[in-house]
Amino acid sequence: MICMTRVDFRMIHGQVASVWIPHYSATKVVIIDDTTSKDTFVQQILTFAAPKGTSVEFYNVEDGVAKYKEDQFGNGKIIVIFRSIEQAYQAYMQGFEFESINVGQTPRESNQVHATATVYVSKEDLDHLKELDQKGVYVYFRQEISKPEVQLDSVIKKIGDKF
């Protein structure tokens, strides 16, 4: 059973390993990222970063969608982490039907604006999130459990006409 779907460019790090995984009692983390799915060295580091007893699987978007359609990544409590908003959007449009998405962290790039404390979005990212919202996906921003959720509408208002 998928208990959380998240966007986090750092994938498995301190906050995910020590708070999110235990909070959901997750037994598996699924990383969906086209680059990481081919990089065995990074995979080893991320697997090592996961708490003991938590398995980690890696897929590119296409294979991740196929595995989701096959058996929703198998048994156990599962956290799915996309490395980017773009890849989460692609997966959804290809049939990965998540009900909500927690946008936790994205890197700062030149074509992006500051959305929340740890999230930067491009116009394309924002358009993708709006489209997911319109399709019924609950889109929220939350880096840490101890912090309140920030709703997509609040981010849209904050960004205003910066694009």
Cβ atoms of 60 and 32 closer than 8 Å: yes
pLDDT per position as a tens digit, 111-131: 999 999 999 999 999 999 999
Q: Is the pLDDT of residue 102 over 90?
A: yes
What is the pLDDT, as a whole number, of residue 10?
97
What is the pLDDT, as a whole number, of residue 161?
84
**pLDDT average, residue stretch 94-112:** 96
Q: Is the pLDDT of residue 163 over 90?
A: no
pTM (two decimals)? 0.97
Cβ atoms of 137 and 151 closer than 8 Å: no
The length of the chain is 163
Confidence of residue 144 (pLDDT cuts 50, 70, 90): very high
Q: Is the pLDDT of residue 160 over 90?
A: no
pLDDT per position as a tens digit, 47-90: 999 999 999 999 999 999 999 999 999 999 999 999 999 999 99
Containing 159, the helix (H) or strand (E) segment is helix 152-159
What is the pLDDT, as a whole number, of residue 90?
99
Cβ atoms of 12 and 31 closer than 8 Å: yes
Q: Is the pLDDT of residue 36 over 90?
A: yes
Look up residue 77 and give its amino acid.
K
Domain ranges of the chain: 2-159
Phi, psi dihedrals of residue 61, rounded to the nearest 5°: -60, -50
Other C-beta atoms lying within 10 Å of the C-beta of residue 64: 26
Pick the CATH number of 2-159 from 3.40.35.10, 3.40.50.720, 1.20.1440.130, 3.40.50.300: 3.40.35.10
